[in-house]
Amino acid sequence: MADRTSSNAYWAANKRIIFISLIIWAIVSYGFGIILRPMLSGISFGGTDLGFWFAQQGSILVFIALIFFYASYMNRLDREYGVDEE
């Protein structure tokens, strides 16, 4: 029974970090790049307005950062629950 509880806790933590990562990515790409773009147009960043930057490059860079964060978090979680590959 303890093994099943451990498995449920592992998958709950896994689903939670996936959900949080998707929310962050949606806010950055859809929110900042599309919905909030008019509000961000007055802020200059990298020679262009901040809304355009988020739409063109910011969401991609945040996505790449989220990939590295997810990989490191899952490695730590795998070690914690004893399901790591090593």
pLDDT of residue 58: 87
Interval 30-45 mean pLDDT? 87
pTM: 0.79
Q: How many other C-beta atoms are found inside a 10 Å radius of the C-beta of residue 17?
A: 15
- Let me know: does 17 contact 74? Beta carbons within 8 Å: yes
How far apart are alpha carbons 19 and 13 in whole angstroms? 10
Which residue is it, tokens 């007055």? 42
Q: Would you list the domain boundaries of the chain? A: 27-80
How far apart are alpha carbons 24 and 1 in whole angstroms? 35
Report the chain's mean pLDDT, rounded to a whole number.
Answer: 89
